[in-house]
Amino acid sequence: MAAKKLRLGLIQMAVGDDKVENVKRAVSLIKRAVENGSSLVVLPECFNSPYGLKHFPKYAESIPQGDTAKALSAAAKENKVYLIGGSIPENDNGQLYNTCTAWDPSGDLICSHRKVHLFDIDIPGGITFQESKVLKPGKSLTTFNIGEWKVGLGICYDMRFAEMARLYSKSGCNLLVYPGAFNMTTGPLHWELLTKARAIDNELYVAAVSPAQDKTADYVAFGHTMAVDPWGKVVSAAQFEEDIVYADIDLSVVEKMRQQIPILSQRRTDLYDTISKD
């Protein structure tokens, strides 16, 4: 793996009701992504479970002791790859979270990110959803390093909050990864727009990774997994079906963007700033 380059393998997988089969499918697709040169593989939000309030308690597992986490660890080690395990419902002593894990090529858990912003919305004639009825919010931002790359993690609704992405940028991130499952009301309007906005605002790469669309599901995901570069250009993208999106990303693109349009250094922090309260 060249220090300044990564090949992303973004897995837009079909998710069904059978947790064991979902995990087996994920492991198979991870292997395929690595066979096609991926050095960082990313799964979608809720890849071992249908997305929905009634499903979270049933499918929730502990991390890293649960079967899904063990399978991710083994897949990372077997394929010698960095792996972002999308997200799964996590059960921590009876408290439920929507949690993303990251694993190194030795199969060790690097970090885990609990979804900070819970999806509580009400759009008349569109969609009503209230994750806070079942889930607890995470209380911290999460980053990890792959060589010269610093990766910031968010989950789905986290992508709407520009302050979170700004803090990641301030901490030195050059890649943001959002496993997410936007729906058919918000997805067509905002999925690509938000992915591009986070990339342009912070002059970095953004990967947004969705489950494949299942029109028979209670919650229908928009799909359209994509990677966007610091200029807001879509590097590669999927449509609705199960697919692996490959994106070759280059740190020199980030560096050149930040030199040519130096908004990060030109911010008027004497007038405004974004600060962390950790």
Q: Are 91 and 64 in contact (CB under 8 A)?
A: no
Q: What is the dihedral of CA 139, 11, 15, 179, to 10 degrees?
A: 20
Residue 115 is a catalytic residue: yes
Provide the 8-state DSSP code for 189. Answer: I
CA distance 119 to 46: 14
CA distance 236 to 220: 22
Which H, E and C letters describe 3-45, residue by residue?
A: CCEEEEEEEECCCCCCHHHHHHHHHHHHHHHHHCCCCEEECCC
* Active-site entry in 19, 45, 131, 150: 45
* Active-site entry in 46, 100, 156, 173: 156
CA distance 262 to 278: 27
* Active-site entry in 90, 100, 115, 196: 115
Q: Residue holding tokens 């990060």?
A: 264
| Residues labelled catalytic | 45, 115, 156
